[in-house]
A and B are shown apart, each in its own frame.
Chain A
């Protein structure tokens, strides 16, 4: 078996920076087919940026991103759009089109990319809505949905074209325990039932570890640990331990870099402020 058979996404020596701020400094990643891979790390480590690089919305400075054998960063717009038809992405807030109701939102990619009849589109949309449990909400407008429902509608829209891969951007953030449980189950069942490959970007450790087959921990622009949830639990990386256990101090210090506390207080007194 070649690399391409087992892994859907290969990222090699990825460097990306915004202005002077380095976000990725030589990241190597592999997303295996049929699995759920989680990418975790503290806020601001560029997890969402990584999804945008995989989707071709951003271009890396150096390194390569290969999705299903195609190098995303060198693709022209036409082939890139063809590739994106096979990718689904769930945005953090759902990103539903606010001028359409739930039904039209899910029908949107079908109407844009296929010449299906309206009756076939209706059947498909109702099937997708049934899968996320919102068939009864088809006539609601996005403004009438709760955050969890909006995410489920967006999930139904993302799988409308039966993609080969799903990317989830912080799917659990700001959800109540019930919708969190619903989403966790949906991601797992959709992945297995539709034969997808899923990438979850998150910092909700318990939920993500419960469904992820593979976990990458990112920090400081590099992969600091990689393995299954169990392997990471026993990892000897102090950073991984601090992150997974949520300890306030450790390799990631509690304090933002600052001059010495005592000196700082004294210098304020001297300046009379």
Chain B
């Protein structure tokens, strides 16, 4: 009994210590962002590896999600004779929810895990330590550009995901199922609001980009510097990011569309 209480206490303490270290690291990263201003190429290189290299998975997934939305939306709407509204259904589902959420989940799996593994291995092979000894702050030189790149890339990837998804819905709805082309686009134009829908979607993707980059970088930086430690940290990045994305999505949706 006493032992299990002790174990619980130790786990609780370890949890809060990690939480504290995570916040201290986030603070250091945010404080280090200003040092990137004179050296934008550090961020650009990372935008390439975090963002551009994630494009393929985002494009393909966006296309299929849009096509599925087109098919499912049509099958339901046609019962009410409302298949003309397919454009609205596809666009709103993508811009408000699926775009930011699915992109963030894919981003965590593709880019987040890569970030964690890269930083974890840099730690395990003493590269971060060597930077410190060369009087180069690894948080400013290595972590801050990666964080910034994740934060910038996520909303762009989500926008691309939604755009490709709308096209996927168009191919299925208009191309295969015979929805009127003019109705598909005009209904979309009428019913998607720049503030209520698009802006809220962008806010979501910014929040997810922030959180996923933070989790991925922290897990890499805080990992036990062995192969097992790095592999565990990589798994944790994906699991924690997915949970954080879905939890935050509910909170953000409630705040944005709750009334």
Contact = CB atoms under 8 A, between A and B. Distances in A.
Contact of B133 (A87, A92, A93): A87
A175 interface: no
A113 B127 CA distance: 18
Contact of A92 (B126, B131, B136, B137): B126
Contacts of A85: 134-135
Interface string A257-269: 0000000000000
Nearest to B137: A81
B134 A108 contact: yes
Contacts of B136: 108-109, 112-113
Contacts of A96: 127, 130
Interface centre among B127, B134, B141 (most CB of A within 10 A): B134
Contact of A93 (B126, B131, B132, B135): B126
B150 to A, nearest CB: 18
B144 to A, nearest CB: 14
A88 B131 CA distance: 11
Nearest to B121: A98
B236 to A, nearest CB: 23
Contacts of B134: 84-85, 108-109, 112, 157, 161
Nearest to A112: B136
Interface string A235-249: 000000000000000
B130 A89 contact: yes
A146 interface: no
B253 interface: no
Contact of B125 (A87, A95, A157): A95
B135 A95 contact: no
Contacts of A41: none
Interface in A64-111: 77, 81-82, 84-85, 87-89, 91-93, 95-98, 108-109
A228 interface: no
B129 interface: yes
Given A98-B125, A112-B141, A91 B130 contact: yes
A3 B135 CA distance: 27
B26 to A, nearest CB: 18
B25 to A, nearest CB: 15
Contact of A84 (B125, B126, B135, B141): B135
Contacts of B137: 77, 81
A91 B135 contact: no
Given A55-B133, A81-B135, A82-B135, A93 B141 contact: no
B170 to A, nearest CB: 41
Nearest to B118: A99
A17 interface: no
Contacts of A161: 134
Given A81-B135, A85-B135, A108-B134, A57 B129 contact: yes
A81 B35 CA distance: 16
Given A96-B127, A109-B136, 18 more contacts: A57-B129, A57-B132, A77-B137, A81-B135, A81-B137, A84-B133, A85-B134, A91-B129, A93-B125, A95-B126, A95-B127, A96-B130, A97-B130, A98-B125, A98-B127, A109-B134, A113-B136, A157-B134
Interface of A: 55, 57, 77, 81-82, 84-85, 87-89, 91-93, 95-98, 108-109, 112-113, 154, 157, 161
Interface of B: 122, 125-127, 129-137, 141
7 contacts: A57-B132, A84-B135, A85-B135, A95-B127, A96-B127, A98-B125, A113-B135
